[in-house]
C-alpha cells in the first residue's frame, strides 16, 4: 500500500495551495459577506487547469482522477468552502456523463468543463424529495424523437452560473420507487428552463443555490444519459463517486480551522503565556490533529476506490464512511477552534464564525450523515463488511 503522493500529485498540491493562498484566502471574507459568485476563483481555476483535474486527458483534462480532485479541493477549502464546492461541481455535474454518456456528450460537456467553456449543475433534489430521492416528481415524457420535461428542482448549487444541468426525472409513472428513472443533460438556454430566485443560505454564500424550473422543456433523445428507465442506479453511482470530494471539503475546512487557531494561539497571551502553551487547549488541538490525519487516510482511500471504478454497492459503504467522518469532523473542528478562541472566535471579523456556518452544509449535501450511516448499516446487515 502506497502512502506517498506521486511527483505529479505533489505538483498538483503545490499548485492548488498557491491558488488558495494567492487568490482565495485574500477574498474569502468578502465572498462570504457579499454572497456573490466569485468569478475570480473560477478564472484562477481555469488558468491553472484545476477545472479539469479529474477529467480524462482525452477530453482536455489532467487525468488525475478523483484522488487528484480530492487533493485540490482539500487545499482550497482550507481558506474558503465555496472554492471547494466550485471544484466539486466539475465532478458532480459530469460524473453521470463520464459513466454512461455518449461520445458526443463527453466531447461537449466533459471537454467543455475541463476548459472552462462549460459550467454545470446537478439537479436531483426537489421541494418534496431531498434525502428521499425516489420521491421525485419531475417527469420526462417521450414524444417521438423528443422528451418533454416538467418539474421543479430545489437547492441547486451553482445553478446561477451554470449553462447546463444534469437532471433526474421519472420517465415511467406506473412503477414505484427507484424504477422508471432517467437522466438528461439540458442546456440552460433551452426554452422553458428558468433559474429561480437565489436562496439565502447561512453559509457557503459565494455559491448560491436556486430553484431550477422546467416548464414543457423539449429536449432531443440525444439528451438522454445512459438508458431510459435505468437512471436511478446511475444517479446513485454519481453521488457515490462524489462523496470522497465532499469529504475533502470537510477535511480542508477542518485543517483550515486548526491552522488559523494555531496561528492565533501562538500570539494570544492569557495568564502570562501564549494560548498554545496551555495543556488543556493542546489536548483539544491534538485530538483534532489526530482525527484530521485519520480522515485524510480514509478520504484518500475512498478516492482511490473511485479511481478503480468501484462506485457501486460493493464499495459504497467505504465512500460513505469518508463522507460521514470528514464532514462531521469539519463541524467539530470549527466549533472546537471557535471555543478555544473564546469571544474573539464568535466575532464576524474573524474567519472562525464563517467556518462554523460553512461546516454545517457539509453534513447535509450529497446525502446527510444519517443517510451515510444507513448505507454503512445496510452493508453490515448484508455481510458486505467483515473483519
**Residues noted as catalytic:** 366
Q: Are 88 and 122 in contact (CB under 8 A)?
A: no
Q: Are 43 and 23 in contact (CB under 8 A)?
A: no
Q: Are 316 and 83 in contact (CB under 8 A)?
A: no
Residue 222 to residue 220: CA distance in whole angstroms: 5
The C-alpha cell of 90 is what? 466539475
Q: Are 126 and 149 in contact (CB under 8 A)?
A: no
Residue 36 to residue 20: CA distance in whole angstroms: 18
How many degrees, rounded to 5, is the angle at CA 135 between CA 247 and CA 366?
Answer: 5
H/E run at residue 8: helix 7-19
The C-alpha cell of 299 is what? 478520504
Residue 262 to residue 247: CA distance in whole angstroms: 23
Number of neighbouring beta carbons within 10 Å of residue 150: 16
Amino acid at each position: 500500500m502506497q502512502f506517498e503522493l506521486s511527483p505529479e500529485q505533489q505538483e498538483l498540491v503545490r499548485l492548488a495551495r498557491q491558488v488558495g493562498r494567492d487568490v482565495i484566502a485574500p477574498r474569502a471574507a468578502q465572498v462570504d459577506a457579499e454572497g456573490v459568485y466569485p468569478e475570480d476563483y473560477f478564472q484562477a481555476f481555469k488558468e491553472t487547469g484545476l477545472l479539469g483535474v479529474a477529467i480524462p486527458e482525452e477530453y482536455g483534462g489532467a487525468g488525475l482522477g478523483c484522488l487528484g480532485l480530492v487533493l485540490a479541493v482539500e487545499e482550497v477549502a482550507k481558506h474558503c468552502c465555496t472554492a471547494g464546492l466550485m471544484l466539486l461541481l466539475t465532478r458532480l455535474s459530469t460524473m453521470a456523463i463520464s459513466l454512461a454518456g455518449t461520445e458526443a456528450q463527453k466531447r461537449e460537456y466533459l471537454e467543455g468543463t475541463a476548459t472552462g467553456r462549460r459550467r454545470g449543475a446537478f439537479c436531483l433534489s426537489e421541494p418534496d424529495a431531498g434525502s428521499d430521492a425516489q420521491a421525485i416528481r419531475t417527469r420526462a415524457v417521450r414524444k417521438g424523437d423528443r422528451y418533454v420535461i416538467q418539474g421543479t428542482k430545489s437547492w441547486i448549487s451553482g445553478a446561477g452560473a451554470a449553462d447546463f444541468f444534469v437532471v433526474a426525472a421519472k420517465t415511467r409513472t406506473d412503477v414505484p420507487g427507484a424504477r422508471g428513472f432517467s437522466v438528461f443533460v439540458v442546456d440552460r438556454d433551452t426554452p422553458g428552463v428558468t433559474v429561480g430566485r437565489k436562496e439565502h443560505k447561512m453559509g457557503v454564500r459565494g455559491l448560491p443555490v436556486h430553484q431550477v424550473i422546467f416548464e414543457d422543456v423539449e429536449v432531443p433523445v440525444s439528451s438522454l444519459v445512459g438508458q431510459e428507465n435505468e437512471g436511478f442506479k446511475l444517479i446513485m453511482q454519481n453521488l457515490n463517486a462524489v462523496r470522497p470530494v465532499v469529504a475533502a471539503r470537510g477535511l480542508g475546512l477542518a485543517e483550515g480551522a486548526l491552522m488559523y487557531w494555531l496561528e492565533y494561539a501562538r500570539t494570544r497571551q492569557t495568564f502570562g503565556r501564549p494560548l498554545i502553551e496551555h495543556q488543556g487547549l493542546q489536548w483539544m488541538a491534538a485530538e483534532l490533529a489526530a482525527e484530521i490525519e485519520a480522515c485524510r487516510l480514509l478520504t484518500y482511500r475512498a478516492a482511490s476506490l473511485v479511481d478503480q471504478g468501484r462506485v457501486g454497492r460493493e464499495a459504497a459503504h467505504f465512500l460513505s464512511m469518508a463522507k460521514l467522518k470528514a464532514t462531521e469532523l469539519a463541524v467539530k473542528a470549527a466549533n472546537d477552534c471557535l471555543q478555544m478562541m473564546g469571544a474573539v472566535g464568535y466575532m464576524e471579523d474573524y474567519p472562525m464564525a464563517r467556518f462554523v456556518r460553512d461546516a454545517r452544509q457539509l453534513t447535509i449535501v450529497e446525502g446527510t450523515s444519517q443517510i451515510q450511516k444507513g448505507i454503512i448499516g445496510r452493508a453490515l446487515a448484508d455481510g458486505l463488511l467483515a473483519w
